[in-house]
Structure formats: structure tokens, C-alpha cells
Amino acid sequence: MSFITIGNALGCTINSHRSNWDGSICKNAETWSCSAKQQFRTDYCQQGDPRCYHIHIFEQENPYCLIDDLGIGWLLDPYPEALNNQILLFWGKRFQEPRGISDINTRPKDYVFGAYRVRSVSPQKINEFKTLWKIEPYPDGWTRFQQPYTLTVYYKSIIGGVYLKEVNRVAVENMFEKAAEQARSPHPNWTNTEDAERFAHFHANLHDWFEVARNNAELLQKQNTMRSVSYRSTPSANINKSPFEGLKNLDIKKTPPLPIKTQATTKNGSTIYPLIEKESIKEKIKKNYSKENLYALMAVSLTKNILIITGHPGVGKSSLAIDLIDDSERQLIVPVGSTWRGREDLLGYLNPISNEFEPTEFTRFLVKAESAWRKNDKRTYMVIFEEFNLSQPEYWFADILVRSQYSDNAEQSRMIELGGKSIRGVTTNGSKIFISPALRFIATINNDHTTLSLSPRVLDRASIIELELEPRATLQRSKLELEEQQIMSIEELDVLLKYKNAMFSLRAAESLKRCLENLQLLNMNSAWDALDIVLLQQVLTKVKLMVGDPANESLMQGLEDWSESYGKYLRKSASLINSWAEALKDGRDVIQA
């Protein structure tokens, strides 16, 4: 269960129901939105069909939640006990009379309704094609809040499925503590006294229940690891033999150098030119990003010779590309210019005076790759195009795009005629250049107003991998050790600003690291001061807010909540956010640069 961080809570979205999930809205389902699809409400709820998955979540006697197999079967089929004893939050959209959830197209805001300490999960077979999973809490292990609690805690999707989210444990405990403070107000808003008692019991035992959940998850992971090792292991007659046994009594002689090793081949005999040549790089990719990204990169070796890497600025696209081949002699980085309009910008031009072709560094690299190929050196050669879509690739990359698609043995089809009598500084092939089958092209792209979209003819010939790096992983990659509250401040701000492409990037993490190493030189008193200045200069400066944009209202509410939680530590950042709120109220756009 490596896809779930041991010790954290889980969460999932549920429909929002008026009057405490007692079914009263189902009688008027066509006009009251609970976030279920309109067709579902019309076909089932309005007709009195009780198949709603969420109507029983906070039932007084026997509460339970139903989840469609499509949403959670990916986890529970192989690990039916995965959720046992785990803390599960339920959240959804805030609703109000008389229409339910607002239909205004704004950034959705989530609210926590309650939580389970899961006792068991069991499959409910509906028919041959449909299964539901029934999640039941311990009798004393469920609660709902006195009023929907704004979800400002950090959560992230779990790789493998789209339904469950992973929620930071410390953030959950802090959320319950704040909700408990609200419950101690002079006029609490509990539906009944039982709700107040259940919440108090859940809050009092939450820390201990988290420890039980951690122990269960560790045990389950250990059992599955042992099962996996047992499955892979096979008996061997030589299990006790020393690996050096065969070297005894042999004369040690100087041997000639081994020939350059060619790459592996597939079942049909075609050659594979891998993008990743070392196991250590594979482990690094899996650790920094995910095993899914690793498998995708490995698949490109079999399917395409052009890989496009996309992701937010600072996520590490260029670093990943450079790491793929640990040999600078077989690697070339080409920065794409915004003014590129033809193949001359990439390959070079014909000198009309000398009648020689003036090559670029890229062209000379192609010659180098060709030379290696003809000497039976079948190792991968790699070209990395930085900012690939800064100009339209079809204009300047067309020759490579077409010629590189032909089979390995179609030599004439893989030739590009450059023109002139020869290539200056190159003595082979006259003015022709051969696109080696061992060449691989990596392109990094960004998606913003400064770039151009890729056409279908490029996308059809390429594989695309999107990189995502969560703040916690970013800090780990930069070898930064912060307090949990500091990490949470970054995570929660990242969740709010990802819609504005204002992410906490690797560059921000490296800047924070340098600041922490020089606190005295910078006249800073603590790590909070360093974090404050980095967030101010490298995260918040990316934000643009336009007056009249309906999404800004919920964003500013979230930012103000964030400032309330962390403003006493991050004063400069909180002050800037406060100035944004004042600017928007005055009818002024917020543009940092």
C-alpha cells in the first residue's frame, strides 16, 4: 500500500443533504441540488428509489456509506482490509435553502461534514456487473460537525484512483481542535445532544485512534511486502553457493576491452533504445515523482522517439530530462527561441559564397550520433529541447519529425538533404545527414500565454508525461527539514494557489534552503522569517486577480483563512494578502509584475 502515506487520514466527497441527511430533500430532488447529477435525482431520488449512496452516512442507529466499485474497487479488491481502523473524513459543497448547492460557476469550496473511524468494509453485489462497497464505522467511532466546517486542511489525490484523498494527520487534529472551540461557544448549533456527545468522544480519542490506524497500516504493508517477496522467490539448487565459487584456481589474465554493448531487443527482433540506462536513475525517478511516471518513461523507449514533458514551472522537467542519460557526451540541450520560424533556426543555413552548409551545434550532434551508429555503437543519444512550444515546432522541427519516424533499416528515408557541396567541418555524406535510430528527443513545455499549443501532427508522434510534485516531496527532494506546521503552511497555500499556477516549486525550495543556511547573514531570526520571504517573493508574486472574477471570492476567503492560521509567523505574506483584499474591494486588479 505504498500509495497511502502511513499515519495520515483519508477523505472522500459526498453529496450534501439538507436537514441532516434524513431524506427530506429526496422528495423534491429535481429542484434541490445535493451535487448528485440531475438525471440521477430525476430518475431515482424523485421517484422514491432509496439507492442514494450517502443518505445513511449519519443515520442514528446504523450509519454507513456506500461507494461505487468504480470509485474505490481499485483499492479494496486487492486490499479489502485497507480502510479498517483508518480515519475517514466526509466533505462536500456548502448548501443553503432553497436551491441547495449554488450553480454559479465559481471555484468550488469544500466543507467537512463529519468523520468515521472505519470498522469494516464489505462488498455488496448488486448484479453481475455492479458492486457497491459498504463502509461501516465503529458504534462510538463516527461524528458529524455542528455545522459544515470549512475544509482548509491539506489533501491530495492518491495515485491509482480518483475517489479517495489523503489528508494530513496534523491538519485533521488541528481542525478538530478548532471545531471543538466552536462547540464550546455560548450558543452551539448541534442538531441534538447525541451529536455533541459523539463529537466530544471522537475528538478526545482521535489521537489514539490515529496511532492504531498507523500500526494497522504498517502491519498490512509488511504482510503484503512479504507476500510479494514470497511470490517472486523461486527455489535454487545453488542458494548456499558463494558467488565467488567459480573463480577459484583460475589464472587471472589481462583481457582485451569488451566491445560496446548494443541495446536489448524485443521479441520480434527490433532494437530498444532506452531513455533510462541505470537502475539508480529509475529509483530516483520513482522516489522524486512516482512509479507511474517511471513506467511511462520506460514505455516511451518501446513506443515513441519523442517525449514531451509538461508540468508547472519549477516542477523539475529539465532536471528529469538531464538525469535520464548519465553521459554528457551523448546528450545535447537546445534552448528553443521564440523567433524560430524555419529549419534554418535548428539545423543551420547554406552559405551562398562557399556553397557549404553552416551547421548548428544541433546538426553537429546529429553527425556525432550518426558516426556512433555506423561504428555499431547503439547506445541512446538524447536531445533536450527546452521551452519546445515557445514557437510553433511544425515550422522548424518538421524535417526531424518526419524523418525520425521511419524504420531503423530505411536509411534513405531517414536522410535529410541540407544543401550545398558539404557540411562545414564534416567530411562524410556530402551535404546529407542521417537521423540515427538511437536518437531520442525530449521536449519540455509550459502552458501559459507565452507559449503556443501543439498541433495533432506533433502530439500523434510523441508521448506526453505530466509531472506533479507535491510540496512535501519538493522539500524532501531539496533535503529540507522543516517543522510540521511550516510544511502545512506551504501545503495549504499550495492547494489554494494551484489554480493560479502559483506553485511552491523546486526553485522556491532551493531558495529557502539557501536562506536557512545563511540566517545570520540575512539578519533573520528563524526559519519562519526565511519561509515568509520566499513565499512572498517566489510564490505570491505569481498571483494575478482580476476585479469581477467570481472565482476570486472563494480564493480570497481561503487566503484570509490561511492568513489567520499562519499570519503571526508569516507576517509579510499575510500583509500582502490583506492588501489584495483591499485592492479588490476598491475595484483594482491585483497584478504583481
Report which residue type is found at 269.
G
pLDDT higher for 521 or 183?
Answer: 521
Asked if residue 238 has pLDDT above 70, the reply is no
Mind listing the pLDDT tens digit for each residue in 372-423? 999 998 899 999 999 998 888 988 999 998 998 888 888 899 999 998 889 9
Mean pLDDT of 187-203: 84
Average pLDDT, the chain: 82
Asked if residue 104 has pLDDT above 90, the reply is no
The pLDDT of residue 473 = 84
SS (H, E, C) 14-70: CCCCHHHHCCHHHHHCCCCECCCCHHHHHHHHCCCCCCCCCCCCCCCCCCCEEEEHH
Asked if residue 12 has pLDDT above 60, the reply is yes
Domain extent listing, the chain: 9-225, 279-467, 471-591
Q: CA angle, corner 174, sides to 171 and 175, nearest 5?
A: 85
Q: What share of the chain is helix, strand, coil (3-state, %, to 5)?
A: 40, 20, 40
Share of the chain above pLDDT 90, in %: 32
Mind listing the pLDDT tens digit for each residue in 539-552? 999 899 998 887 78
Question: What letter would DSSP give residue 265?
Answer: B
The pLDDT of residue 425 = 85
Q: CA angle, corner 241, sides to 235 and 246, nearest 5?
A: 125
SS (H, E, C) 532-583: HHHHHHHCHHHCEECCCCCHHHHHHHHHHHHHHHHCCCCHHHHHHHHHHHHH
DSSP per position, 503-543 = ---HHHHHHHHHHHHTTTTTT--SHHHHHHHHHHHHTGGG-
Asked if residue 185 has pLDDT above 80, the reply is no
Positive/negative CA dihedral, 74, 472, 87, 50 = negative
Mind listing the pLDDT tens digit for each residue in 130-155? 888 999 999 999 998 877 766 665 66
Mean pLDDT of 204-208: 94
Cell 461507494 belongs to residue: 67
Asked if residue 343 has pLDDT above 60, the reply is yes
Mean pLDDT of 182-190: 75
Cα 488 from Cα 569, distance rounded (Å): 13
- Cβ-Cβ contacts under 8 Å for 150 (sequence gap 6 or more): 109, 110, 111, 112, 561
The pLDDT of residue 235 = 45
The pLDDT of residue 269 = 59
Q: Which residue, among 441, 424, 306, 429, has the nearest Cα to 371 in the 3D structure?
A: 429
Q: Mean pLDDT lowest for which of 92-96, 492-496, 572-576? A: 92-96
SS (H, E, C) 125-144: ECCCCCEEEEEEEEEEEEEE
Mind listing the pLDDT tens digit for each residue in 60-74? 889 999 888 877 887
Q: Which residue, among 444, 468, 441, 501, has the nearest Cα to 309 in the 3D structure?
A: 444
E strand or H helix that includes residue 71: helix 69-76
Mean pLDDT of 436-461: 83
Q: Which residue, among 149, 151, 169, 110, has the nearest Cα to 485 in the 3D structure?
A: 169
Backbone angles phi, psi at 41, to 5 degrees: -65, -35
E strand or H helix that includes residue 218: helix 193-232
Pick the CATH number of 279-467 from 3.40.47.10, 3.30.428.10, 3.40.50.920, 3.40.50.300: 3.40.50.300
Q: Would you put residue 7 in left (φ > 0), alpha (ψ -120 to 50) or beta?
A: left
Mind listing the pLDDT tens digit for each residue in 467-497? 888 888 889 888 999 998 899 899 889 888 8
The pLDDT of residue 530 = 95
Mean pLDDT of 178-190: 78
Cα 314 from Cα 448, distance rounded (Å): 14
Asked if residue 236 has pLDDT above 60, the reply is no
Asked if residue 243 has pLDDT above 60, the reply is no
Cα 539 from Cα 511, distance rounded (Å): 12
The pLDDT of residue 5 = 72
The pLDDT of residue 162 = 66
In the three-class reduction of DSSP (H, G, I as helix; E, B as strand; rest coil), residue 252 is classed as coil
pLDDT higher for 101 or 531?
Answer: 531
Q: Are strands 439-445 and 381-386 parallel, antiparallel or unpaired?
A: parallel
E strand or H helix that includes residue 351: strand 348-351
pTM above 0.85, yes or no: no
Mean pLDDT of 491-509: 87
pLDDT higher for 161 or 536?
Answer: 536
Mean pLDDT of 193-219: 90
Mean pLDDT of 84-96: 85
Q: pLDDT category, 210, cuts 50, 70, 90?
A: very high
The pLDDT of residue 237 = 40
Q: CA angle, corner 515, sides to 510 and 516, nearest 5?
A: 95
